[in-house]
Amino acid sequence: MKRITIADVAQHASVSKSTVSQYLNKRYDYMAEDTKQRIEEAIKELGYRPNIVARSLKQKTTMTIGVIVANILHNFSTQVIRAIEDICHDSDFHLIVCNADDNPVKEKRYIEMLQAKQVDGIIIFPTGDNVPLYNEMLAENYPIVFVDRIVPDVPIPSVMLDNEKAAGLAVQHFIDKGYERIGVITNVIRNVSPRIERINGYKKTLQSNGFPINEKYIKSLEVNRVQEGLEEMLALEPPIQAVLAGNDLTLMEILKYVKNHHLKIPSDLAIIGIDDVSFASFYEPALTIVAQPAFEIGKKAAELLFNKIQKKELEEELAVYRCEPALIVRKSC
C-alpha cells in the first residue's frame, strides 16, 4: 500500500504542503476555517498518519522523554509518573517508563537504551551506583533530573521530600500522644538518601524531646523481612509501643503482621506510615500518615527537565528542591 504523504493531503485539500505542515504543527491561528476543515477532511479520507521518525530527524527532537523509576510498586512512583505524564501531554511529548528494581545494572541498561532511542531527556529515581554514567551525561549537557534521591558529588538537580521533617512530624505526633518506646522500620537499599534522612529525622526528634536513642528500635530490612523485624521489636523487654513505617511497602508488611497476630491498633501498637496509600482513610482503624506531595514533585521534575530541553536560562537552579510533607491524623495513632 502506498504511504500517504503531506503532498497527497495538500493535493486532496487544494492547499500547499506548507499549509498542511502548519496545520499539523497547530500553527493555524490565521488559517481560514474552511481551509482547516478541508485539511482535516483530507486527512480522514486518506487515512494520513504523520511520519514521526521523519519529523524527529527534521526537528532534531523525538518529542519523547524517559522516566526510570527505582521500584514501580511504590504508590509514590506511580503518582509521580502520573504528574509527569500530565506535563508531557500538555507539551505534546511522549513518555517511556522503565522500572530499574533498584538494580544499578538494569538502570544503566535503561539509560543506554533511552539514549539510543534519542529521547530528549531523562528523569531518574537514581540507584546511586552509576556515578560515572551520571557525570558523563552531565558533562555532555544531556537533560537529566533526579527524583526522590540525591547522589553525593553528582550536581544533578533533584526534586524530593523533606525526609527529615517527614519522619520528625511522625515521631513528634507519637510523643505528643504519650508514646515513649517508638520504633522505625525502613527498607534496606544500600545508601539511598530518603532512608538515611528519615532515620536521621527520627533520631533528631527523639533527642530534641529528651528521649534516648535505642538502636534496637531501628531496623533497615528487605521487604520480605519486615514482619520478622517487627516481631523482634515487639519481643524486646520492654517492647515498642509505636512504629513508624518508612514507606508504603513497609507499612503494608506491618499491617499484615498486625492482622495475622490479631493485634489492636493503636492499643497494642500505634502506627504511622510515610507515603499516603489509597486505603489509608478507610482502613479500620483509619491510618495516620505523613504524605508527600507526589504530584507536586512529579510536576516540578518535569518542568525542570523541559527547561533543560528547551535550554531556558533559570534565575537560579537549586541542587535540591525540597517539598513539604503533611501529617494526616486519623485513628492509628
Query: Are residue 275 and residue 302 in the same domain, yes or no?
Result: no
For the stretch 204-214, pLDDT in tens is 999 999 999 99
The x, y and z cell numbers of residue 201, run together, are: 529525622
Q: How confident is the model at residue 148 (pLDDT cuts 50, 70, 90)?
A: very high
Count of other CB atoms within 10 angstroms of residue 78: 14
pLDDT bracket for residue 57 (50, 70, 90) = very low
Report the distance separating Cα 185 and Cα 134, nearest Å.
Answer: 30
Does one domain contain both 172 and 286?
yes
Confidence of residue 17 (pLDDT cuts 50, 70, 90): confident
**How far apart, in Å, do the first and last CA atoms of the chain sit?**
67
Quote the cell numbers at residue 1. 500500500
What per-residue confidence (pLDDT) applies to 60? 62
Is the pLDDT assigned to residue 95 strictly greater than 90?
A: yes
Domain of residue 287, residue span: 163-293
Residue 56 in domain: no
CA pair distance 233, 216, nearest whole angstrom:
7
> pLDDT band at 59, cuts 50/70/90?
low
Domain contains 187: yes
The verdict on 38 and 139 lying in the same domain is no
Q: Residue 49 — very low, low, confident or very high, per pLDDT cuts 50/70/90? A: confident
Q: What is the pLDDT of residue 311?
A: 80
Residue 95 lies in a domain: yes
- pLDDT score, position 276: 83
pLDDT of residue 74: 87
The 8 Å CB, 24+ separation contacts for 249-256 are 249/71, 249/73, 249/74, 249/187, 249/223, 250/185, 250/186, 250/187, 250/223, 250/226, 251/275, 251/277, 251/287, 252/277, 253/223, 253/226, 253/227, 254/185, 254/226, 254/227, 254/230, 255/283, 256/227
- 273 - beta bridge partners? 245, 289
Q: What's the mean pLDDT in 169-187?
A: 97
Same domain, 150 and 299: yes
H or E stretch at 69: strand 64-69
Same domain, 172 and 143: no
CA distance 58 to 74: 39
- 206 with 274, same domain: the answer is yes
- Domain shared by 143 and 208, yes or no: no
DSSP 8-state assignment for residue 146: E
250 and 148, same structural domain?
Answer: no
Choice among 32-41, 100-109, 173-182 with the minimum mean pLDDT: 32-41
275 in the same domain as 182? yes
pLDDT score, position 58: 52
Please tell me the least confidently modeled range out of 10-14, 59-63, 155-159, 239-243: 59-63
- Is residue 29 scored above 80 in pLDDT? no
- Number of domains forming the structure of the chain: 3
Tens of pLDDT along 116-126? 988 999 999 99
Is 1 contained in some domain? no
Rounded average pLDDT over 300-313:
87
Residues 282, 193, single domain; the answer is yes
CATH code where residue 21 lies: 1.10.260.40
For residue 42, being part of any structural domain is answered with yes
Residues 105 and 190 in one domain: no
Helix (H) or strand (E) holding 158: strand 158-161
pTM, two decimals, is: 0.80
316 and 272 in one domain?
no
- 198: CATH: 3.40.50.2300
